[in-house]
Each structure stands twice: as C-alpha cells, then as structure tokens.
Amino acid sequence: MSTSYHNQHGTRGWTAPSSGHGNHRSPYAPTNLDRPPVDCNDASHMRHGISSAVPNASQSPQIAYATYNPASFPYTSPPSNRRIAAPYGHEDPLFSSHLCPAKPPSQVDPAASGRVSHVPLLRQLSSVLPNPRYVDDRSQRHYAPPTRMNMSNQASSHEPDAQDLQQVLYLPPFSPPPTHWKALIPVDPAYSPNDVYVPLINRLPVELLSLIFTRCMDDEARELFRAGLRSRSSPLVLSSICSRWRGVALDLPVLWQYFALAPCAGHGFHYRIALLFIERSKGQGLHVHYTEDPFDEVPLECCPCALNLILENMGQIKTLELQEISQATAARISQTHYSAATMMERFSLVMCEDTMAAELVHPISRLYSSANLRELRWISSTFPVNIPWSQMVGLHLVDCITDHDLLMRILLSAPLLEELDVHMEAISPTAPPYRPIRHFSMRDFSIEGVGPQDMLLRLLHFPNLIRLSLRPLSSLSLETRGRFGWPFTDPTVFFKFIGRLAMKLKSIRLLYGDTLDETTMLHIIRLPQMSGLRCLHVTSRNVIARDAFFADLQPGWAARDVPLLPHLERLTMRYCVTSDGPISRMLESRRQYSYPLQSVSLGYPRDDCSSHRTDCTAFDRLNRQGMSISWHVSLHR
C-alpha cells in the first residue's frame, strides 16, 4: 500500500492511496507515480528503483514536501467565488470536492478503483475499547484515529540539492520549526586528530542558515514595537558573529525591514542605525513603529530626525504604526504627498488626545488610501474617511462609535473582510430593516456594544467564522456594564447564530453577560461547532458554571469517551458555584490523559462560603506541575 505524508498546509497524518478515475490524480497521491513502468522480472531495474527511492534502507524514507508560497497568491477573491465548508450534514453541489470521483460510488468499478472490503477491519475496530486519552485531530464526537507510523528524523547519507532545499525550506510566518531539518544536515564524519574540525553550524547550507536567521525575527514581526534600534537587536548581533554569518545576514533584506522609532533627544544615534537598516533592506519594504510617551516631561521631538526619516522614506513603508501621537505629530505626518505611500499595506493610528482636529482627518487619509492597503487600525473618537472598503481584509475601529446602519453598509461594501472589530451604540428598535447578510470571508468578529444584539445576530451569517467576541463598551462604568439585556435577550437567537457556522469556533468571549446562566452555557458548549474550541472566556452577573458544567468537561464521565471541548487550552469563567471536588477531578483527568488545557481562571461570588479544600490542594499541585490555575473571589457583580 502506498502512503504519503503531507505538510502542515495539507492533510495531516498518513492517508490511504486515492483511487484513480480517468486522468484525475489526487493531490494526496504519492509523488513518484510519474516514473516509467519497471519490469518486475528485471532484477537490475528493481535494484535501481529501490536505490533511487531509498538511498539508505536503514534510514527513514525521503519525503517530498510540496512547495507553498503565499506571496504568489493574490488576496482573497470576492465571496461569490470563494469556496466555504459545507454545513454539517449538507453538501453544496456547486462546490463539489475535487477529491470526489466524477461518477457516483455505485457506478465505479471496484476492480478499476482498487476498492477492498473493509468489513473485517470495521469489526476489528468496533471491538476496541474506548480510550479517553487526548488525540489532537478528533472532535467530541469521534474516537481516536489509528496510531500514526513512526517517522524518524535520521540524517540522509547524501547531500541535499538545491531543489530539495527549495521544496522544504519555506515556512509561513510564526510557524514551528519543521521536524525534517535534520535530514538536510550532512552526517558528521569522523575526524582524525590531525584534521581541522569545522563546526556543524558552519557546514549548514546557506539556504537553511538564512531560514534560521529569518526565524529570529518572528517576535519583531509579530509585535513591531519590540524591534527597537539598539546594539543588541537581532540583525546587528547576527551580523557580528563571524564573516560567514555576516555575509548571510547582509544578503537577507527581511532582517533589516523591521524597526521601532521614538522621539530623538538630539544624539542622532537612532537616525544613523535606521539609515543602515533602510540601506540593507534593499528596497524590499519597511515596517516602522513610531511611539511617543505622553507622560514624558521632556519636550517631545527635540530633534525632528525620526519623523523626517518616516516622511523621507514613505514610499518604502509597508507597515506604519503611529502609537500615542499628539495633534502636532499627526499634522506633520499628514503633510506627505497624496501618492507617496504607494506600498502601504497596514496602517495603525492611536491618538493620545480624545479627539482629532477636523482639519486633519482628510489629510491623514493620504497614508491609507493606497491600492495595496489591506489592514486599518484606527483608535480615535473621530471617524476616518476615504477608507477603501472593497480591498480591506482587517479593520479595527475603536473609540469611534458606529451604529447599526453603518455596520451593515461596511459588511456589504467589504466582501474581502476577514477581521472586524467595532464599537457600537445601542441598536434602536426603529432601525431600518435589512435583509440577512451572508459574509463568506469573515473569520474574526468582535463587537463592543450596549444593549441586546438579537437583531444583529438574526441578520448575520458568517460560515467561516472561527473567533467571536461580544463585550460591553469599555467606556461604561462597572455598574452599568452588562445591563439592559446584554448581549442578547433570547438565547435561541445566539444558538441559531452559532448553528449556522460551517467552521468550528476556536475562540469565544462573552463578557459581562446579563442574560447568561448555567442552562445557556451547557447548551452552548454542547453545540457541534464548539468541539474545536481552544479558548473559552465567559463572565456574567449570574452563576454560569456548577457541578454539571465541569462534569461534562471531564474525560470518561458518564461513559463518554471524549469530553466536551476536548481541544480547550484556556478557560476563564465567572461566576462558578460548585461543591468541593468536581473542578479538581476535571483538571486532573485532563492532565492524566494529556489534554491541552493549561490556563484556568475561575471566579466565585463573595457570598459563596463553601469550603474547597480538595480543590485548592489539587490546584497547588497542578500549579507546581506547570499548569496555571487561579481560583479567586470576584468583587464585581
């Protein structure tokens, strides 16, 4: 039986060989099917085939990894052309899978498709006892899959060529290191005492060493404010180790694209280093963070070199983050030419004042009006203008309050929008009626609002949503947060909103819910779309978790093999009122069976005087074992 293994962008694990139908070939098929046929009676051909496929029979087989470069793909197409996952139990005939045969199964010849009878195997699997141990790719409805074959990472006996390196070296940003790196490193030979030993790090291929250097910038790329211009920054350190490392680092523009600036005190140190970074980036684009300290007693911008540097190189900037800037700085930044920011892809503005002058709103829009803009983060009470809605992928409008009508028009005008964070005013009962909106691209939806959101939840359908956040406006006092029916008055409206999802949620936040209770929470966590949840954060003025809630999360409880929310990693609940023992039993069982739950924060009301000696003892023990568990009294109710 031929098998194939796929990288993290495709199907994980070992898959059975797909049946051929005509000239159709599954992308999961083995990569060596294009070889000419070999005469089985010719031993020389057989030896040649084996030696070419497996250079060393005692080592692991060579795995061909498909190349995947997101830079070669355009941004998401409009929703009418996008393919989405079908709801549970339904299959859209307009989006038929390319892995399915062209003919129905009843018309496919078993001999031609290589079909075999799986009845004995099914009988054998049905006799296997349930195992509550955590498996990464099963849901709360499924049993554990067969054990994967053990693939060792022993080094190959031959040097990898350029094509092998090109196929395996690409990794998406912030992904874990591949497990096949060792296969690219030559085997360390035995040296005699008279030989000059060359360290293994200096014998790595240049491509692999470049990838390692690139991964050193993951933190700076994820959080741009960390890319400060100092002598111990990663690019400067890597380029000062030795001549070989320096040569590799200087030929990597990605190392020099990220830097953070601050108002200069007149020394010009940051200005000179920034010019060095810009020169070594070789015109590949810059990601710049600029921040001002509003509490600094020293007058800001004693030397104008930092802002001058941004204005002079505006045509090379791909990401510009302006953090806590003043009105004067905003006025100076807005003096740029209309067509200067041609490469701008992400723009972020955070004002330290409450409002922005009306005469600055239009000039500053020149910074985010380019055709390449994909993400806008705006934190100011003044609403931005001239936003290119049709090309937006990420949009964060904080402190500028929107209404129901504006939100509907944003969703209709931005078909590519994947991430939306808005602050909303209370929805008026006399709001103009809208038809239901089905937005295919939305994956992260976050709202800060006031009052019930039932009308909004009835109209919105996000098939591919994986993160949801509903929280009251932060400008409200603690006494008024979560009042007036927040976040919904009819729980069935929220159940139907979740039930329309075709994807499984990964994160859900429901904060200060006035209508959330234990019955509602039990119904929510039992929905099929919650089986892949990794983060659950719910706070309410009512009791939302009792013994039954934690019993459903315990492996092996009530003859259930897989507990609810098997992939849960972070759990935050308030208020919890339980007897002594159910919480600790759930946590210890999950740790015993290797479930990924690591961070737990549970709050109980002040009037709860029940003793939790067993739970507290278990919490201390689990904290010493590496978990993070907090059991505390919640003061606000």
CA-to-CA distance for 288 and 343, rounded, in angstroms?
13
pTM above 0.75, yes or no: no
Q: Which residue has the higher pLDDT, 190 or 509?
A: 509
In this prediction, residue 170 has a pLDDT band, given cuts at 50, 70 and 90, of low
| 3-state class (DSSP) for residue 111 | helix
Query: What's the pLDDT score for residue 179?
Result: 59
Q: Is the pLDDT of residue 397 over 70?
A: yes
Query: What's the pLDDT score for residue 590?
Result: 94
Query: What's the pLDDT score for residue 121?
Result: 40
Mean pLDDT of the chain: 76
Nearest alpha-carbon partner for 362 in 397, 389, 336: 336
Query: Do both 316 and 172 map to the same domain?
Result: no
| Within a domain: 225 | yes
| Within a domain: 574 | no
| Within a domain: 519 | no
Strands (DSSP E) contained in 416-505 are 419-424, 437-438, 444-449, 460-461, 467-472
Query: Do both 178 and 266 map to the same domain?
Result: no
Q: Mean pLDDT over residues 551-564, rounded?
A: 84
At 252, give phi and psi (nearest 5°).
-115, 95
Tell me whether strands 14-15 and 4-5 are parallel, antiparallel or unpaired. Answer: antiparallel
User: End of a domain among 377, 394, 418?
Assistant: 377
Q: Is the pLDDT of residue 40 over 70?
A: no
Q: Is the pLDDT of residue 37 over 50?
A: no
Query: What's the pLDDT score for residue 191?
Result: 58
Query: What's the pLDDT score for residue 534?
Result: 97
CA-to-CA distance for 274 and 267, rounded, in angstroms?
13
End-to-end alpha carbon distance in the chain? 62
Q: Of 35-49, 65-79, 519-533, which has the strongest mean pLDDT?
A: 519-533
Query: Do both 276 and 242 map to the same domain?
Result: yes
Q: Mean pLDDT over residues 273-302, rounded?
A: 80
Q: Is the pLDDT of residue 559 over 70?
A: no
Instruction: Look at the block and give the residue holding tokens 């339980």.
Output: 578
Q: Is the pLDDT of residue 69 over 70?
A: no
CA-to-CA distance for 155 and 60, rounded, in angstroms?
8
| Within a domain: 343 | yes
Query: What's the pLDDT score for residue 183?
Result: 55
Tokens encoding 392: 């937006």
Query: What's the pLDDT score for residue 133?
Result: 73
User: End of a domain among 353, 377, 401?
Assistant: 377
| 3-state class (DSSP) for residue 501 | coil
Tokens encoding 220: 């700076």
Element (H, E) at 71: none
Q: Is the pLDDT of residue 167 over 80?
A: no
| Within a domain: 148 | no
Query: Do both 231 and 363 map to the same domain?
Result: yes
Domain count, the chain: 2
Q: Is the pLDDT of residue 449 over 70?
A: yes
Contacts of residues 356-363 at CB distance under 8 Å and 24 or more positions apart, as own/partner, are 356/327, 356/330, 356/380, 356/381, 356/382, 357/327, 357/330, 357/331, 358/382, 360/327, 360/330, 360/331, 360/334, 361/385, 362/386, 363/331, 363/334, 363/335
415-428, pLDDT tens digit by residue?
Answer: 999 999 999 988 88
User: End of a domain among 331, 358, 377?
Assistant: 377
Nearest alpha-carbon partner for 383 in 371, 373, 397: 397
Contacts of 531 (CB under 8 A, 6+ apart): 139, 140, 141, 504, 564, 565, 566, 567
In this prediction, residue 592 has a pLDDT band, given cuts at 50, 70 and 90, of very high
Q: Mean pLDDT over residues 164-178, rounded?
A: 56
Query: Do both 228 and 371 map to the same domain?
Result: yes
Query: Do both 286 and 173 map to the same domain?
Result: no
Query: What's the pLDDT score for residue 125?
Result: 41
Quick count: other Cβ atoms within 10 Å of Cβ 414?
Answer: 21
Query: Do both 236 and 188 map to the same domain?
Result: no
| Within a domain: 22 | no
Query: Do both 287 and 357 map to the same domain?
Result: yes
Query: Do both 368 and 318 map to the same domain?
Result: yes
Query: Do both 257 and 160 map to the same domain?
Result: no
469-498, pLDDT tens digit by residue?
Answer: 999 988 777 677 767 788 999 999 999 999
DSSP letter, residue 50: H
Q: Which residue has the higher pLDDT, 60 or 255?
A: 255
Q: Is the pLDDT of residue 589 over 80?
A: yes
Q: Mean pLDDT over residues 248-253, rounded?
A: 91
User: How many residues can be counted in the chain?
Assistant: 637
In this prediction, residue 129 has a pLDDT band, given cuts at 50, 70 and 90, of low
8-21, pLDDT tens digit by residue?
Answer: 444 333 333 333 34
In this prediction, residue 161 has a pLDDT band, given cuts at 50, 70 and 90, of low
In this prediction, residue 279 has a pLDDT band, given cuts at 50, 70 and 90, of very high
Q: Mean pLDDT over residues 349-368, rounded?
A: 86
Region of poorest pLDDT, from 98-107, 133-142, 458-467: 98-107
**Which domain, by its residues, includes 314?**
216-377
Contacts of 197 (CB under 8 A, 6+ apart): 191
| Within a domain: 227 | yes
Contacts of 463 (CB under 8 A, 6+ apart): 84, 85, 87, 438, 440, 500, 501, 502, 503
Query: What's the pLDDT score for residue 166?
Result: 54
Q: Mean pLDDT over residues 536-560, rounded?
A: 89
DSSP letter, residue 46: H
Query: Do both 243 and 372 map to the same domain?
Result: yes
Query: Do both 169 and 228 map to the same domain?
Result: no
| Within a domain: 90 | no
Q: Mean pLDDT over residues 235-250, rounded?
A: 90
